[in-house]
Amino acid sequence: MPIEFAKLPTLETERLILRGWRASDLAPFADLNADPEVMKYFPSTRTNDESNQWVTNLQDKIRETGFGSHVVSVKAGPDFIGFVGLSKVMFEADFTPAVEIGWRLSREAWGKGYASEAAREALRFGFAEKGLDDILSFAPKINFGSIGVMQKIGMKQDAKPEFTHPSLDANSPLNPCVLYRAQKADFGSGL
């Protein structure tokens, strides 16, 4: 059954376009999720069916909340390099309910500042256009790349900076996770 794509506003940065999903994004997204290096800090890679199901679920969440993960396109380059966006945290913890910002980009897009550029725009969108006051981000403590992005976009380590992710085995090398926070008040005129 074909996926019914939800409408997301198109956002732009100097080098990037953050847009809604299309059928042509499914194959490169499945390739992204099948790359063991990209998925190094996740429990496993994902199959094509699992990737498509993730996109289907995302469309439902976008229709429900009015926000979600945008596809990231490079203005002078590839049409799909991954995604950056906002989502409700789907597990229970002492910091939920909450909205998180997350990203996943292809290896070819790493080291160019695309993740932080797109994430800054996603934060702006969440604060200025969706009226959010607080946005979180988290990653395994060993995922220095994502932690670096959190820091570059102005997020601060939470008062309780680490937690055991309830969806992962407590003894997993992916636990503990670090928790970062961005608050609208801290971004003030940057919006």
Predicted pLDDT of residue 104: 98
User: Looking at beta carbons, which pairs linking 93-97 to residues 24 or more positions away fall under 8 Å?
Assistant: 93/163, 93/166, 94/160, 94/163, 95/136, 95/158, 95/160, 95/163, 95/179
Reply yes or no on whether the pLDDT at 190 is more than 60.
Answer: no
Q: How far apart are CA 79 and CA 19, in angstroms?
A: 10
Predicted pLDDT of residue 29: 98
23-43: pLDDT as tens digits: 999 999 999 999 999 999 999
Reply yes or no on whether the pLDDT at 102 is more than 90.
Answer: yes
Share of the chain above pLDDT 70, in %: 97
Architecture of domain 11-190: 3-Layer(aba) Sandwich (3.40)
Predicted pLDDT of residue 189: 55
Predicted pLDDT of residue 191: 53
Q: What average pLDDT does this structure show over 174-182? A: 96
Share of the chain above pLDDT 90, in %: 94
Reply yes or no on whether the pLDDT at 109 is more than 70.
Answer: yes
Predicted pLDDT of residue 186: 87
Q: What average pLDDT does this structure show over 107-132? A: 97
123-172: pLDDT as tens digits: 999 999 999 999 999 999 999 999 999 999 999 999 899 999 999 998 99
Mean pLDDT, the chain, whole residue set: 95
